[in-house]
Amino acid sequence: MPQLNLALASVEDYRREAERRLPRALFDYLDGGSYGELTLSRNAADFAQLQLRQRVLRDVSNIKTHTTLFGRELTLPAALAPIGMAGLMRRRAEVQAKAACDGAGIPFTLSTVSICPLEEVAAVSALPFWFQLYMLRDRDAVTDMLKRARAVGVNTLVFTVDLSVVGARYRDVRNGLSGNPGTWGKLRAGPLSYMAHPRWLVDTGIRGRPHQFGNLTPYVPNATTPANFKGWLDSQIDPTVTWKDIEWLRQQWPGDLIIKGVLDPDDALAAIDCGADGIVVSNHGGRQLDAVASTASLLPTIVSAIARRAVCLVDSGIRSGQDILKAKALGADGVLIGRPWVYAVAAQGQRGVRQLLETFRSELSVSMALTGSTDLSEVDTRILDRG
């Protein structure tokens, strides 16, 4: 019986289609988390368990989903999160996602370890995007990337601080992306796996070249494959980084500075004391330290601690427009959308990301209307059903 081509509606629809289209090792890299993936599952589950309080007979004819973040008016309080190696999931995926964000009216965040470099993404349009960076041992490379980001119009830097060591991701070990795979792992990550996905092979494997970490090419001149870059990057992870290094970074970067990877109120306050303009409450999507609490459960305490001294964003577990509304109710100024946009770009390219963002906007608008909310600036815990 032929397979029916159904319209993709939810994040789970895009996820299933991405799984169908991607070689197994790439899908598991995108989909997986660290250790037993407890935190990965809790992130989405804890947002899902928050109940909304339905209110009726309110005038909801004029719903306002827009907000302003870092001086830019957005159509919804969201940005796409930085995702490493996204350009291996679809041909030049970072470029396609930037174009989709431009059309949707929200920022795109480019990862340090993207396939497309800063300059290629900037060529999409004059609209600004955000750039995510790690603290590398090679501080000259860090300084140079900051200069390159400024040169292409980036004014918002998202600095990730929860990668002083790399979490153990068992799916990547099994598939051969890290560690020494067994026979099954070699089959799942080897040439036959990629050849079994001809659409990916043509669109991304052939037409999506070069498969390099574009932002790092100047610093690793002899690298030609993602594996070459990964070896260099692993050697650059600096476990000695402290808040003093963030103070140094603040001196180097004149634009907006967001510290990503905060899970503790004291760390949130330390980030602000170092000059951060914003924080992201994040556990790296459950990819670093497993068995930590979900971001939804920690968000209210951190929001209370920082007392509006900085912009507070949240990621890890955002799977719908309703989750955006719940995050706002818990006190966040906005969210970062991670895995969902990569599922969408893997499934349908730029069109998929654009449709996903429209779905999120629609879900947010409908949920606001049915909770009697007309303006995001007025949303708080009163829209949650604590019963």
DSSP secondary structure string for all residues of 7-33: PP-SHHHHHHHHHHHS-HHHHHHHH--
List pLDDT tens digits, range 77-120: 999 999 999 999 999 999 999 999 999 999 999 999 999 999 99
Strand partners, 78: 335
Q: Are 250 and 275 in contact (CB under 8 A)?
A: yes
Give me the pLDDT at residue 224, please: 83
Residue 33: exposure state from Cβ atoms within 10 A (0-12, 13-18, ≥19): buried
DSSP H helical ranges for 152-262: 170-175, 183-189, 191-195, 198-200, 226-236, 243-252
List pLDDT tens digits, range 226-278: 888 888 988 998 999 999 999 999 999 999 999 999 999 999 999 999 999 99
CA distance 327 to 251: 31
Domain positions in the chain are: 14-170+233-376
Look at residue 287 and give its three-state secondary structure.
coil
Assess whether pLDDT exceeds 90 at residue 23.
Answer: yes
Q: Which two tokens stand for residue 375?
A: 């303006």
Amino acid at 149: A
Q: For 64, phi and psi rounded to 5 degrees?
A: -115, 110
Local structure of residue 282 (DSSP, 8 states): -
If you write DSSP's letter for every residue of 105-171 in order, what string do you get?
Answer: TS-BEE-TT-SS-HHHHHTT-SS--EEEE--BS-HHHHHHHHHHHHHTT--EEEEE-S-SS----HH
Q: Are 211 and 229 in contact (CB under 8 A)?
A: no
Assess whether pLDDT exceeds 50 at residue 1.
Answer: no
Going by C-alpha positions, the residue among 152, 143, 42, 45 that lies closest to residue 108 is 152
CA distance 155 to 269: 23
CA distance 51 to 247: 40
Local structure of residue 188 (DSSP, 8 states): H
Q: 14-170+233-376 belongs to which CATH class?
A: alpha beta
284 is catalytic: yes
Number of residues that make up the chain: 387
Look at residue 64 and give its three-state secondary structure.
strand
Q: Give the mean model confidence (pLDDT) for residues 48-61.
A: 97
Q: Are 99 and 357 in contact (CB under 8 A)?
A: no
Amino acid at 6: L
Round the CA-based radius of gyration of the chain to a whole number and report it.
20
List pLDDT tens digits, range 351-366: 999 999 999 999 999 9
How would residue 2 be classed by pLDDT, with cut points 50, 70 and 90?
Answer: very low
Q: Give the mean model confidence (pLDDT) for residues 205-222.
A: 94
Amino acid at 59: D
Consecutive H or E run containing 259? strand 256-262
**Stronger pLDDT, 173 or 356, i.e. the higher one:** 356
Residue 304: exposure state from Cβ atoms within 10 A (0-12, 13-18, ≥19): exposed
Determine which one of 66, 197, 211, 284 is catalytic: 284
User: Which residues have a Cβ under 8 Å from the Cβ of 356 and sit 6 or more positions away?
Assistant: 11, 14, 340, 341, 344
Consecutive H or E run containing 68? strand 67-69
